[in-house]
């Protein structure tokens, strides 16, 4: 998914929304016996700033299914994650956390991959809380 900054500037369209889906990369998942059970939905908004930096913010959401990390029963978790990023034209000063872009095209792939990685939990648990204290044996 890309944002064509030149085209937007030419059309004086300095802000917009992006709604799309993409397949999550299974290689990002570090939990045993867990995989994506839905595409990743992205609801993003972008703003092209006066210095041609592009700010992107919004939410990614997806579902994971697999073995609960506590009881090993099959379960499914829905995850949503708020993210924002700044894309700075190559050659201009960018902060450590910023992405750069060139030739007037913001490529969101690295940002999306990073965001999915941040959003992924370290374990999958039954939504009803299989090992919450009230369910423990006395
Ligand atoms: Zn469980």
- pLDDT tens digits, residue range 20-53? 999 999 999 999 999 999 999 999 999 999 999 9
Share of the chain above pLDDT 90, in %: 87
Residue spans of beta strands (DSSP E) within the chain? 2-4, 15-22, 34-36, 40-48, 54-67, 74-89, 99-101, 105-107
Q: Provide the token pair at 111.
A: 């940002």
**Span 72-85, mean pLDDT?**
95
pTM, two decimal places: 0.89
105 pLDDT exceeds 60? yes
Ligand 1 center to residue 91 CA distance, Å? 50
How far, in Å, from the CA of 62 to the mean position of ligand 1?
A: 19
In this prediction, residue 136 carries a pLDDT of 47
Task: Give the Cα separation of 23 and 37 in Å (integer).
Answer: 10
107 CA distance to ligand 1 middle (Å):
38
Q: Binning pLDDT at 50, 70 and 90, where does residue 80 land?
A: very high
**Residues of the domain holding 17:** 2-135
Q: Are 112 and 101 in contact (CB under 8 A)?
A: no
Number of domains, the chain: 1
* CA neighbor of 34 nearest in space, from 62, 5, 2, 6: 62
Question: pLDDT band at residue 132, thresholds of 50, 70 and 90?
Answer: low
């Amino acid at each position: 998914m890309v944002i064509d900054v030149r085209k937007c500037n030419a059309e004086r369209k300095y802000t917009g929304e992006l709604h799309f889906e993409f397949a999550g990369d299974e290689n990002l998942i570090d939990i045993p016996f867990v995989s994506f059970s839905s595409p990743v939905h992205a609801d993003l908004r972008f703003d092209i700033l006066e210095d041609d930096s592009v700010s992107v913010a919004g939410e990614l959401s997806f579902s994971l299914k697999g073995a609960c990390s506590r009881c090993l029963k099959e379960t499914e978790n829905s995850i949503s994650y708020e993210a924002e990023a700044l894309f700075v034209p190559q050659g201009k000063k960018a902060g450590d956390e910023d992405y750069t872009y060139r030739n007037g095209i913001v490529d969101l792939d690295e940002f999306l991959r990073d965001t999915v990685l941040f959003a992924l939990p370290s374990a999958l648990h039954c939504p009803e809380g299989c090992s919450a204290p009230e369910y423990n044996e006395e």
